[in-house]
Chains A and B, each alone.
Chain A
Amino acid sequence: MSKPVSRREFLNLIGASGGSAAVLTATSALGLLPTTAAAASLDLLNPGSSKRQVAILGAGISGLTAAYELTKAGYDCVVLEASHRAGGRIFTVRSGDLIDEIGNRQYCEFDDEPHMYFNAGAARIPSTHRNLLHYTKELGVELEIFINECKNAYVQDDNMLGGKPIRNIEYTTHARGFMADIMAKSLSGIELDEPFTEQESETLLGMIRSFGDLNEDNLYTGSLRAGYASGGFLHHGVQKDMIAFRDLLKTDLGRLLLNANEGDTGPVLLQPKGGMDMTIQAFVANLGDRVKFRSAVTAVQVKEQGVDVVYEQEGVRHKIEADYCFNCIPTHLMAGIEHNFPAEYVSAMKYVRRGEAFKAAFQAKTRFWEDEDIYGGGSWLNSPIQEIWYPPHGIHKAKGVILGAYDYGGRAGLMNLSQEERIELCLAEGEKVHPDYRSLVEKPITIAWHRMNHMLGCSARWSRNRGQGWTHEEETMYHTLQKPVNGRHYFIGDQISMHSAWQESAIMSAHWALADMDKQARATA
């Protein structure tokens, strides 16, 4: 560090200018720690003998939530789903399943065993996502812990240490050590200005030392935390050689490594036993034949007293005259369906960008990662595949399904390649971390979410200024789309949230719409 931290900067850092409570509030407002309301306590008014009919467009989790709650309250619901399956981007791929990517259809050839599945879309449930957890509990969906990080997984970048992979624990231990070393030096300078009491300084220095495993001179000289070169049990552990900070700075991956387990993806995360779609399956079982598959909506007409919906099933068009309509069809697809939405609605629909995301998976012939002390978590690569995830379920069984790539957009490459090219790239990159990778994995599947039939996108992207937050205009358009048309048609789904890509957001958007509808229903009851 050539430039020391000034006292003023440091005061800002410790929150002294606004008080640390202000800093906490700001953190929450920035969406780092989204606060969710208490779990669903929807008390929808029973429509009584009028048996009001509701058309729900799309069997994504927001549509299913709406159908489930409305059916419970006594409404007559029908869910129209264009594809052969429910769940949208909650998609667990198992033996024999069709992956209906346009121009790249695949059938999954994994072994037919309960633990041999791949969550191709949603894969993690944060413990703060109360509404989703509420439904898993209510529907009897068994949960287990999802392991998001294994410190023994790898970090690999062609630019770092000649491309040799190192363990996450080595990278993060050294990175923290060096950073703590710098922090301790900064603190000793600031101490002279006395922004802290002696006790506070001591406490802070203790934290810094512990954070980085500094020695008694507050210097970082390596740490046993990075793993033992030898020994550690029956003999004293021998510390591994340090890696120079300069070498660690040859990669940008540090940014990901140090925040991968914070915020939404911080411990503890959960997953349904047997696949993320267990929640979807439970909703669908509950709703029975109210869910109509292979039923594509072709027209939506909002009227004075309801919504007419036309859909096509097996080449025949049917019309539903519903009292209300809840619509989780992606806005970019709805733009190609006949409708009579108001102009400001349409311009908002056209504004939202469809997200891109790509995942690949392999069946592993053996759980080779477990022989390398890896259980769950994932390796990080500075390459188009970005991540390799090791399944936290099925531990010590013969085989497992691993994630072979996870690209959430913004990078060139993977998603626009042919299936053969995608697989080759996954294998070639995977080999950099696990030398025998190519011979250890088989039966690949790949999914480019922006090319999936009936979806054509991953999570909606409202903000166009990446990292700079929403503009006022974007917020206005968002609120426009959230509001009902004529009090009868509601857009729902994670696309109508400020935190897309999470199941919780989709559920909460449905709850918002249901509560709004209920308010009207009560006013006119």
Chain B
Amino acid sequence: MSVNRIVVFAISLLFSAAILSAEEIAREPYNDRYCMTCHGVDGRGNEGVQAPRLAGMPAWYLQRQLKNFRAGIRGTHPQDIEGLAMQPMAAKLSDESIADIVAWVGSWETIAAERTIEGDAARGRNFYSACALCHGDNAEGNEAMGAPALAGQNDWYLLTQLKNFMAGYRGSHAEDIYGAQMRSMVNTLRNEAGIINVVAYINTLPR
């Protein structure tokens, strides 16, 4: 142990002793890196608990969604089952924790999600032309438009979210600016069949 490290160690001991009782020091510590329990190893997504893939989601999008969850802009509609599961987690996060989590997620390898949904991709392609304006021709996402990448995401998650946008379970909060845009666009898909077809098309894009 170098002299510097000894000094740092001694200072940290003093600091802990000042604010924590002996009993509290023995307590199990924790941090906010809970993501993998629900979202799977390296944020690959877990259909078992309907938690989407995080790896590969751009930092700006993750940050915006975590802050929306924290503020109750997302995940408070009583019919948004998965959002309701996420919201209390995000509610406890500090700005520092959000920055830490977003950087951590950025360190994970992105593995394209398994395809589980089949539909009429040819029909979906026609619908997708409207989506492409924001999300890009290859669903690669566009930060300037505030639109996340869709390619390679869990298709069951895309399905749930599109249904939630259509039903107003997501994107109805007055402060959810981008959600409101999605709400207005999602109706071009018309119904659940349209949603399934567009997801089937997204499944065909390079990932």
**Interface residue B46 (Cβ < 8 Å from any Cβ of A):** yes
The reply to whether the CB of B74 lies closer than 8 angstroms to some CB of chain A is no
- Given contact pairs A96-B27, A296-B36, A456-B38, A336 touches B89 in the complex (Cβ within 8 A): no
Task: Find chain B residues with CB under 8 A from A350 CB.
Answer: 47-48
Within 8 A of B (CB), among A86-114: 96-98, 100, 102-105, 107
In the complex, what residues of B have CB within 8 A of residue A85's CB?
28
Q: What's the minimum C-beta distance from B87 to chain A, rounded to whole angstroms?
A: 8
Q: How far is the CA of A384 from the CA of B91 in the complex (A)?
A: 24
CB of B146 closer than 8 Å to a CB of A = no
Of the candidate stretches A161-169, A243-251, A327-335, the one touching chain B is A327-335
Please tell me if the beta carbons of A456 and B89 are within 8 angstroms of each other in the complex.
no
B39 within 8 A of A: yes
A349 within 8 A of partner (CB): yes
Chain B's closest residue to A330 (CB) is: B48
- B95 contacts chain A at the CB level, 8 A cutoff: no
Contact (Cβ within 8 A) B89 A102: yes
Tell whether B170 is near chain A: CB-to-CB under 8 Å: no
Contact A102 B41 (CB under 8 A): no
Residues 142-191 of B contacting A (Cβ, < 8 Å): none
- Report the bound CA distance from A103 to B45 in whole Å: 19
Q: Which residues of B contact A453 (CB under 8 A)?
A: 34, 37
CA distance A338 to B108 in the complex (A): 14
Instruction: Please name the residue on chain B nearest to A100 by beta carbon.
Output: B30
Complex CA gap A350/B47 in Å reads 7
Chain A positions within 8 Å of B122 at CB level: none
Contacts of A104 in B (CB 8 A): 88, 92
Inter-chain contact A354/B49, CB cutoff 8 Å: yes
Interface positions, chain A 286-331, Cβ under 8 Å from B, are: 296, 298-299, 331
* Interface band, chain B: 20 to 34
Query: Secondary structure of the B side of the interface?
Result: helix
Contact: B27 with A98, CB < 8 Å?
yes
In the assembled complex, the Cα of A96 lies from the Cα of B22 at a distance in Å of: 11
Q: Is the CB of B27 within 8 A of A336?
A: no
Contacts of A102 in B (CB 8 A): 34, 37-38, 88-89
For the complex formed, measure the closest distance between the CB of B74 and the CB atoms of chain A, giving whole angstroms: 15
Give the contacts of B106-129 with A (CB-CB under 8 A): none
B18 within 8 A of A: no
Assess whether B84 is interfacial by the CB under 8 Å rule. yes
What 0/1 pattern do residues 327 to 367 of A give for CB contact below 8 A with B?
00001111111100000000001100010000000000000
Interface residues in chain B, defined as those with a beta carbon under 8 Å from any beta carbon in chain A: 23-24, 26-28, 30, 34, 36-42, 44-49, 51, 84-85, 88-92
Which A residues form the contact surface with B (CB < 8 A)? 84-85, 96-98, 100, 102-105, 107, 296, 298-299, 331-338, 349-350, 354, 416, 418, 451, 453-454, 456
Nearest 5 pairs of A and B residues by beta carbon:
A336-B40, A336-B46, A335-B48, A332-B48, A103-B88
13 further A-B pairs in the complex, CB-CB below 8 A; given A104-B88, A298-B41, A418-B88:
A98-B27, A103-B89, A103-B91, A296-B41, A332-B48, A335-B46, A335-B48, A336-B45, A336-B46, A336-B49, A336-B51, A416-B84, A456-B37
